[in-house]
Structure 1
Amino acid sequence: MEPSETCCLGLKGNVCSYPRGKVLGGSSVINAMLYVRGNTRDYNSWAEAGNVGWDYESVLKQYEKFEGCQDSNCGLYGKNGELEITTYKYQEPIRDILEDAYKELGYYREYSEEKPLGFWDSFVTINKGTRTNTAKSFIEPIKDRKNLYVALNAEVSQLIVDKSDKTVKGVEVKINEKILKLNAKKEVILSAGAINSPQILMNSGIGPKEHLESLGIDVVTNLRVGENLQDHAIFSFAISVDNSVIKAKTDLDALDDIYQYFMHRSGPLSGVELLNFMGYVNTKNDSIFPDLQLFHTAMGADNVDALEEMARATNLPDELTEAFKESSKHSSNLFITLQVMNPKSTGKILLRSTDPFDKPKIFPNYFSDENNEDLEVLLNGIKLSKKLIQTKTLTQYKAKLVEYTLPNCKEYDFDTDEFWKCSVRNVASHLYHQVGTCKMGPERDPAAVVDPRLRVHGIKGVRVIDGSIMPTVTSGNTNAPIIMIGEKGAELIKEDWLQNIHEEL
């Protein structure tokens, strides 16, 4: 991402990282495997904004169609679909200790999409100890179809647009360093994600007029492509706890875990440890819907390798990493991650140049909302977590905040509101849930890029079907909703083209 004045100020390089799933199966191959649909308000608000057919009851049918729940009790989750999902409960003592602590605070109740305040051990895209990504689930079973072609190491530069009638005729793509032009018989489906879908559209002259003209790109259609970038900002901190609640791993333990996994697809390596024990809280108590999501990660004492890997992946400054390591020498660490559910801050994607293969400019703009509401949600979450530490349940395990300093926050005393606000702006990151840059909305919406049938406004022959079409980000991890968008998009394509065939007949 580009450097910002409101976020990521203290991370290495002063930027947050933006990894992408450049692999068959996309980011479902590299994600945390948490399967969360979101709640009823997410989808009903889309429909209320004019997106007919995207209300909760309608999308529920799409979910149930592709879900393959492997549990004995699946509830409203589908059982016969391609994507195998299971529930999973971490077996270390810290899982139930946390449940007891949240009960003591009065926050613990069972989560459901209809009653979305509470805690649960979420579904995961894992079956029999193995990740079930979208390539395995949807492509592998049909890989021998004669009308399916998959090109690896391929990168689309732009759409081929007939400017005389504003019709997309195909795509220009680089495969093995050769530029090819592929013509479409019916229409082009753009599913390049919230970063690259807007980049491809803008390279093709479909985007904000003022931005395209500044680069000398001929404008085909003036649409707010690349705007409305939304993501879930997160902030993590560590709590030291007694070693009895989180087992420290010896080298022999690690070998046992590896043996268990490769021989039986069981043991710690067959799940996601504590990560899928998550909570949804309304920090203001003003709604039945959450504004904060909580994740938990447990690390046994002296787990230096895991701490260094976490620091590397998130660009953490050395001062913070060293504080975690120091705490790890004599106790276990419990990390609580707070996530802003319904962010008010929005960012944007811009082209860096007219080179279609140049990296785009990414401006997430976390914590840039005018009234600092996103920052306040995290501050409220920190205060809630401090109450959690003070419960009888956790005090008996010597729970304590891990203290640290940051170069940009030295003027503030640790654990004051001003310190936490400074720390959030310096080391908060995000959960890789980028959406919204090709916003779905009716024609009357000046910010909309695609209509409710995912066709690009003002252009014939192209649809966008990926997370970029979300008007607002869903309340939780976005892998499941994006798969649903793919299923819904496929249905819309079939409806439209089968209707055309019937009319011709």
Structure 2
Amino acid sequence: MGRLILRAAEEAGVPLTRDYNGAQQTGAARVQTTTFQGARWSANAAYLREARARPNLFLRTRSFVTRLVLEGVRARGVRYERGGHEHVAYATREVILSAGAVNSPAILMHSGIGPADHLQQLGIPVVQPLPVGHNLMDHTALIATSTTTNQSLAPSVAEIMLNPKSHVNYFKKRTGPLTSTGTFEAVSFHEIEGTSFHVPGWPDVEILYASVTPAPTAKTASLFRITRSTYDRMLRQLESKPIILSGIWRLRPKSRGRIYLLDRNTSTPPQIDLNAFSDPEDVEVVLDGVRTYQKILASPSFQKVGARLLDTPVPGCEQLLFDSDDYWRCAIRQFSLPIYHQCGTCKMGPPGDPTAVVTPELKVVGVERLRVVDASIMPLVTSGHLQFPSYMIGEKAADMIKQEHSK
């Protein structure tokens, strides 16, 4: 399926690129992955497995950090729950918070570091007023562009899993379909000129392609993160049929959301207000992405397999003419999913920046011996997925910490 998509993209005038993380970031390519010898190579495998025997590393699993231990504006450690009991871990030099773009701001706010008005409303004493939780960004993908074909472009998951050869090849030779990254095989990045965030050479839209055969199970609707009624209306007709599932999203959205605390209880999950598509320009850029995708669908290679856009109207958009610009504007708001690339909620900024939570050294403004090291420090979401940038943040922070403490 990947070869077909690349051939179709090239026929539609989209350049091919070997490395979209290299010099040419726009174009179509195979999906890049972190795999080694046919298996997923996670951060745990790449970093922790090698270091787990070090005497200065201790890992405690099944632990939930609730808040920081503070003496005035100095961080001393963290409080965490494990096995129904509260524990305290103290830091000799400094505390490094790496709980992600949702939990890092939540822990800071529970500790009294955050927007003063919000903390006071919840009865949390304010230690340091900072715009924690603001500037939330994510990539939100339109999935209303499901495409039917007259032939299967890839074996279904069931076919792979029920074939004994798949398991033999994987466990004995590390070859075969079980070494793949699933159904996502190709991706394309496109520039959309005329937008306020556009920079020549930087892509504005990503299209991720997957060849899938939805299984007729009760859980399928939840996998798509949609209601059962919407699934019945839109996708049930595609069960057991080969389709191309495409996700189309703006890479650097202007819309901003926020992380809130609902109450003082640290076990209550924080409120995630993504606020997606609150800026109309984000909708227009994704609309341009839809038109780009349609050009690729019209290519000779896709037409040979009978590729046809699903024309069942998205619920809530039935009153609009299908395939009109207004229809897609409605569909983008009604039938899009977060890609879980959350970032920005503990924004990094220079001295004097009123929107900053951490300094360029990732130190929390106005709090001693405390850093945040994760995707929450990003001032602007990257033009791609967040895995490698998150690794880079960790690597850079490690270098800065070593340099500082070695002095």
Q: Same fold (TM over 0.5)?
A: yes
Aligned counterpart, 1:388:
296
Distance across 2 between alignment mates of 1:213 and 1:442: 27
After TM superposition, the structure 1 stretch with the greater mean CA deviation from structure 2, 485-494 or 142-151, is 142-151
Aligned counterpart, 1:326:
237
Structure 1 residues 444 and 367, CA gap change in structure 2 (3 angstroms): same
1:105-131, CA deviations, whole angstroms, 9 ceiling, x for partnerless residues? Answer: 211231453321112224311111111
What is the percentage of aligned positions where both structures have the same residue?
A: 32
After TM superposition, the structure 1 stretch with the greater mean CA deviation from structure 2, 403-412 or 118-127, is 403-412
Aligned counterpart, 1:283:
192
C-alpha deviation, 1:405, in angstroms: 2.9
1:124 and 2:33 are equivalent in the alignment: yes
Distance across 2 between alignment mates of 1:487 and 1:179: 31
- Give the counterpart letter for 2:362 in structure 1: L
Q: Secondary structure at the match of 2:4?
A: helix
C-alpha deviation, 1:229, in angstroms: 0.6
Q: Is the 8 A contact 2:186 2:210 kept in 1?
A: no
1:435 and 2:343 are equivalent in the alignment: yes
TM-score under structure 1 length normalisation: 0.75
1:175 and 2:88 are equivalent in the alignment: no
Q: Is the 8 A contact 1:440 1:469 kept in 2?
A: yes
C-alpha deviation, 1:242, in angstroms: 2.4
C-alpha deviation, 1:419, in angstroms: 2.1
C-alpha deviation, 1:415, in angstroms: 2.1
Distance across 1 between alignment mates of 2:5 and 2:23: 24
The correspondence for 1:480, drawn from 374, 381, 388, is 388
The correspondence for 1:294, drawn from 207, 212, 215, is 207
Stretches of structure 2 that go unaligned for 5 or more consecutive residues are none
1:320-371, CA deviations, whole angstroms, 9 ceiling, x for partnerless residues? Answer: 5344342455x521111112100100111111111122211110100012xx
Aligned counterpart, 2:276:
366
User: How do residues 132-281 of structure 1 correspond to structure 2 at under 5 angstroms?
Assistant: 132-163=41-72, 166-236=73-143, 237-243=145-151, 245-247=153-155, 251=159, 254-255=162-163, 256-281=165-190
User: How do residues 334-345 of structure 1 correspond to structure 2 at under 5 angstroms?
Assistant: 334-345=244-255
Distance across 1 between alignment mates of 2:374 and 2:161: 41
Q: Tell me the number of residue pairs that the alignment of Structure 1 and Structure 2 aligns.
A: 398
Structure 1 residues 128 and 427, CA gap change in structure 2 (3 angstroms): same
Distance across 1 between alignment mates of 2:68 and 2:87: 12
Structure 1 residues 260 and 188, CA gap change in structure 2 (3 angstroms): same
The correspondence for 2:315, drawn from 407, 410, 417, is 407
1:194-220, CA deviations, whole angstroms, 9 ceiling, x for partnerless residues? Answer: 011111111111111111111111111
1:144-201, CA deviations, whole angstroms, 9 ceiling, x for partnerless residues? Answer: 22222111111111111111xx211111111211112222111101111101111111
Distance across 2 between alignment mates of 1:234 and 1:180: 40
The correspondence for 2:332, drawn from 410, 424, 438, is 424
Q: Is the 8 A contact 1:327 1:402 kept in 2?
A: no
Structure 1 residues 221 and 112, CA gap change in structure 2 (3 angstroms): closer
Distance across 2 between alignment mates of 1:310 and 1:343: 29
Q: Secondary structure at the match of 1:409?
A: coil
- Give the counterpart letter for 2:272 in structure 1: I
When the two chains are superposed, the root-mean-square deviation of aligned CA atoms in Å is 2.1
- Give the counterpart letter for 1:290 in structure 2: P
Structure 1 residues 318 and 218, CA gap change in structure 2 (3 angstroms): closer
Distance across 2 between alignment mates of 1:183 and 1:439: 26
Q: Is the 8 A contact 2:67 2:78 kept in 1?
A: yes
C-alpha deviation, 1:309, in angstroms: 5.2
Aligned counterpart, 2:221:
311
Distance across 2 between alignment mates of 1:421 and 1:224: 32
- Give the counterpart letter for 2:392 in structure 1: M
Structure 1 residues 212 and 245, CA gap change in structure 2 (3 angstroms): closer
C-alpha deviation, 1:132, in angstroms: 1.1
Q: Secondary structure at the match of 1:374?
A: helix
Structure 1 residues 248 and 225, CA gap change in structure 2 (3 angstroms): closer
Structure 1 residues 123 and 315, CA gap change in structure 2 (3 angstroms): closer
**4+ runs deviating over 4 angstroms:** 247-253, 307-310
Distance across 2 between alignment mates of 1:288 and 1:146: 46
Q: Is the 8 A contact 1:319 1:405 kept in 2?
A: no
Q: Is the 8 A contact 1:126 1:271 kept in 2?
A: no
- Give the counterpart letter for 1:490 in structure 2: A
- Give the counterpart letter for 1:463 in structure 2: R
Distance across 1 between alignment mates of 2:339 and 2:42: 18
1:250-274, CA deviations, whole angstroms, 9 ceiling, x for partnerless residues? Answer: 7587313233323322211111145
C-alpha deviation, 1:230, in angstroms: 0.7
Structure 1 residues 244 and 461, CA gap change in structure 2 (3 angstroms): closer
User: How do residues 20-31 of structure 1 correspond to structure 2 at under 5 angstroms?
Assistant: none
Distance across 1 between alignment mates of 2:160 and 2:405: 59
1:428-470, CA deviations, whole angstroms, 9 ceiling, x for partnerless residues? Answer: 0111000010001112111000001111111101010011111
Structure 1 residues 253 and 315, CA gap change in structure 2 (3 angstroms): closer
Distance across 2 between alignment mates of 1:345 and 1:241: 35
